[in-house]
Each structure stands twice: as structure tokens, then as C-alpha cells.
Homo-oligomer: A and B are copies of this chain.
Amino acid sequence: MKQLLDLETPALLLDRDVMRANLTRMADRIHALGCDLRPHVKTHKSLDVLRDVKALSRLIGITVSTLHEADYFFAGGEKDILYAVGLTPGKVSHAATLIRAGCDLTVISDSPDAIEAIQAAARAEDVRLPVLIELDVDGHRSGVEPDGPELIEMARRIAASANLDLKGVMTHAGGSYDCRSVDQIRDHAARERGLTVGAAERLRDAGHDCPVVSIGSTPTAMFAEDLSGVTEVRPGVYTFFDLFQAGLGVARLSDIAVSVLGTVIGHKKEKGWVIIDAGWMAMSRDRGTANQPQDQGYGVVCDLDGRPIEDVYLGIANQEHGIVIARPGEPDLDVGRFPIGSRLRILPNHACATSAQHNRYEVLEDSRVVAEWPRTHFW
């Protein structure tokens, strides 16, 4: 069995026990509220991780952010897949290939204009596409207004399209990432549910079936107190958590299941710089905590057992060099604390972004490397 010291660095570590606790906590919450999960797999993009997710929660299906993810997970045995990025006519052929192969693929749209073009492409492919209408519940990104006229117009167009089937409504309350307290997240979750269930009711009142009412973001899923009327919840980053979620109050540092293992490769003693071989290629360029009360730089530095070292952080990153420095207000780092060749673990700002920089997880149990789990990439 490999030890952490045997790994060539940088390497992406996955603490399986921490992940399992995250999976169980979310599943318990959502199931207790009478709902099932359709977790977003864009965070991990790994069939091995999904196996643990399925062992610890009841899933309706999975959510993907690319059709490439759909290909990968369908090839691995997943059938019920929601592609949760607005479909364009140019991707209908790819979606049709999946459906013809037996995948229960559902797509989304938030545009009456797109519906016409997608219908034409679906007809050309001679395929039927199940469609959810995407709602905007918080001004975060995409979606039609839950209480506006476009919702009904979209449903009308989908119902009138020979190759499209209206399955329901979905939203992603990404605005929850801007909340400043747990109370705000709780309110955001109530708003997400209320507006989405309300939109479903409007569709039913207008004579449409609306079997699917799908919501989800990790913060709102963690603090929702009521999911009545909701049929599925789609959190993703809860699988691993990260510093951004910790800064939001949604997780503790000890809940973060992924970290990057690096080795000290140099010192700049007079500056108090410890240089490691994990730069932005290993961490990603994500600086999501920059605007939070606690700016974590490019990551929180931990010892080999994963214990945070509080007075320093990964303050600077080049492509293959990371620089560990004192946090603002702390005295300059005595570089002798981290000798050349010693190893550190770095907690990431954003688990989705950091994991995407690696082709595999080094899976830890009891600080031993028990497996290598591959992950998929690209489009």
C-alpha cells in the first residue's frame, strides 16, 4: 500500500472518509425532507466517486454540465441524466446519439427562440427530446422569470413541438453563493423552492403536465427547511466541499475532502518565501475567496495529516510554482519550518476547478493511499 511520501507531486488527494461523511450528511438532510437527489457530477467527474455517492444516498439520476460527462457516465452505466446547460441546436445531434443508445437524457432551455431551432434539429435527427424549462429565481445567470409571461410561452411552444416533451421546471440558485450568513442562505433556499414550485403550479394551471420540479445548489440544499413540491435536488460541490463553501458557512475546513499534495522545492529566506511544486496548474487559477471576509489566497496550507497551519497560506502561484508566505499581519515566515523536500497539503478555493486540473484522485483512508480513481475531462 502506498504512503503519501511515495507519491510524485503535485497530486490530488481525496480523503474518502471525509467525502463519505459529506455524502451522508446531505443525503440524510434531503431524504428527511422527503426528497431524492440528482447530484451534479461536474465536481468530481468520476464513476468511482459516484459509486460512493450511490451507496450512501437515494438518487433519481445524475446532473451533468457537458455532453461529454453524459457520454462518460452513460458508458459507466448511468441512464437517467440531466444536461443542465442550455441546449443549442448544434448539440442536438450529440444528444440524439445518447438517446438512441438508450440514455434517458433530459435537456434544458430558457429561450422561446431556442425552442424553435432545437425542434427543427430534433426533427432532422428524428429524436424526441425531454425538456425542462430553466427558471431564474435570483438573477444569478440564466432562466425565465417564474412569474413572467415567457414561462407559459415556452411551455406552449414545447407542447406544440412534435419532437419535444415538456417534463417540468428546474433552477440553480447560484445567487446563494453571494449570501453573507446562514440565515440569508435559509431565506434563499425558501425563495428557490417557493418560486420553482410556483412556476410548476402556473404550468399545471395552464394545462401542462409538470412532473419534474428540480432545484439545487449546495448552500441552499444544506439549509433548506422545506422541500414540499420539489421532486429532486441537485447539489454538487458538497461531495468535496472547499474553502469558498467554508467561507460561506456551509462547511468546516475539516469537511474539505480534496487537497493538493506538494513538495517544498526552494526557499527565499530573506523574503520568507517557501516555494512548492504546486502552482496554479495544480490548484487552478480560482481565487473565489478573494472577496470573502477571509481571503485564502490560492489555498490553505496543511501538514501531511491535513491539519491547517494557520499563520501561512499559498499566497502566490505561477504555473508550476506555488509560494507559501505569511498571512497578512503575521511575521515573515521562517522558511526553516518547511525544509526542502518536505510535503504540504493545500486545501483549494474551489473543488470543481482544482479537481479539473488533475486526471486522477489519490484516494486516502487513514492517511494511506488505497486507490487511484481516474476522472474525465474536456468536452
Residues of A within 8 A of B (CB): 5, 8-11, 42, 65-67, 85-91, 94, 110-111, 113-114, 117, 136, 139, 141-142, 174, 263-268, 271, 275, 277, 280-282, 284-287, 318-321, 323, 339-341, 352-353, 356-359, 377-379
A319 interface neighbour in B271, B320, B352, Cβ under 8 Å: B352
Q: In the complex, are the beta carbons of B341 and A90 less than 8 A apart?
A: yes
Q: In the complex, are the beta carbons of A267 and B340 less than 8 A apart?
A: no
Name 28 A/B residue pairs within 8 A (Cβ), A-sorted: A8-B90, A8-B91, A8-B94, A8-B379, A9-B88, A11-B379, A42-B319, A85-B265, A85-B321, A86-B266, A86-B275, A86-B277, A87-B265, A88-B264, A88-B265, A88-B277, A88-B341, A114-B266, A114-B340, A117-B341, A139-B271, A141-B268, A142-B321, A282-B379, A285-B353, A357-B378, A358-B378, A359-B377
Bound form: Cα–Cα A377–B319 in Å: 13
Bound form: Cα–Cα A142–B318 in Å: 11
Query: Nearest Cβ in chain B — how far from A117, in angstroms?
Result: 6
Query: Nearest Cβ in chain B — how far from A174, in angstroms?
Result: 7
Bound form: Cα–Cα A77–B43 in Å: 37
Residues of B within 8 A of A280 (CB): 286, 353
Query: Nearest Cβ in chain B — how far from A141, in angstroms?
Result: 6
- Copies of the polypeptide in the assembly: 2
Residues of B within 8 A of A264 (CB): 88
Bound form: Cα–Cα A108–B103 in Å: 51
Bound form: Cα–Cα A113–B342 in Å: 12
Query: Nearest Cβ in chain B — how far from A234, in angstroms?
Result: 14
Closest to A117 in B: B341
Most buried by B among A10, A174, A341: A341
Q: In the complex, are the beta carbons of A10 and B379 less than 8 A apart?
A: yes
Bound form: Cα–Cα A266–B9 in Å: 41
Q: In the complex, are the beta carbons of B323 and A141 less than 8 A apart?
A: yes
Q: In the complex, are the beta carbons of A65 and B319 less than 8 A apart?
A: yes
